[in-house]
């Protein structure tokens, strides 16, 4: 085994290239760096245009008359009201799945994220401040409050239809097919 390693090591040592050209380049670079460090060029001065203010029409930007107060916002939703859990969902993502009437009180069942929530008349659902007005066997009627362009709040009617059992079973299949 030793006889095999010795010739291989000698052949590998003979194959290594000479480093004379690398040593020469390093010495030239070091010499150039020593002489170049002392002779740096002075930085060029940067000249810029003086600032000229735009021509004004004589109005004062700080004039109190220019400041407008925002108009009173009518029908704004109560900011101090604690939001209900279903107000974090878009109305389109909620499913009305059932209804229960007991002692004259009607409760609706709404599914969101595979969890069924119980709601009643006066409950809030959806992101547009939707308040349930009526619960029927085929739909939930609600009134949403939406901010208009002028800052006033506008009431609009919306409904959440009852989801059939066929809808709930075919929806995942259709979704998987579209992906």
**Chain segment 45-99, per-residue pLDDT in tens:** 777 888 887 777 767 777 776 666 656 667 777 778 899 999 999 999 999 999 9
178 confidence band (pLDDT: 50, 70, 90) = very low
To 10 degrees, the CA torsion angle through 101, 107, 113, 114?
A: -20
pLDDT digits (tens, 9 = 90+) for 121-155: 999 999 999 999 999 999 999 999 998 887 788 99
State CA 4 to chain mean position distance.
67
18-33 as b/e, with b when 16 or more CB fall inside 10 Å?
A: eeeeeeeeeeeeeeee
Quote the CA–CA distance of 89 and 129 in Å, as a whole number. 11
Ordered by where they begin, the domains of the chain are 85-178 (2.30.30.830)
67 Cα distance to chain centroid: 33
The reported pTM is 0.53
- Cα(first)–Cα(last) distance of the chain, in Å? 64
């Amino acid at each position: 085994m030793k006889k095999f390693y010795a010739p291989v090591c000698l052949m590998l040592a003979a194959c290594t290239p000479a480093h004379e050209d690398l040593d020469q380049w390093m010495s030239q670079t070091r010499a150039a760096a020593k002489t170049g460090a002392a002779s740096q060029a002075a930085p060029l001065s940067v000249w810029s245009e003086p600032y000229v203010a735009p021509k004004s029409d004589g109005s004062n930007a700080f004039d109190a008359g220019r400041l407008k107060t925002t108009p009173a916002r009518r029908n704004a939703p109560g900011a101090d009201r604690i939001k209900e859990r279903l107000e974090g969902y878009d109305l389109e993502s909620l499913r009305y799945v059932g209804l229960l009437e007991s002692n004259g009180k009607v409760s609706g069942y709404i599914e969101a994220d595979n969890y069924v929530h119980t709601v009643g008349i006066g409950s809030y659902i959806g992101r547009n401040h939707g308040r349930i007005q009526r619960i029927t066997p085929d739909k939930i009627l609600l009134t949403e409050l939406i901010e208009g362009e002028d800052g006033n709040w506008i009431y609009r009617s919306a409904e959440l239809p009852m989801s059939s059992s066929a809808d709930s079973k075919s929806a995942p299949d259709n979704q998987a097919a579209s992906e």
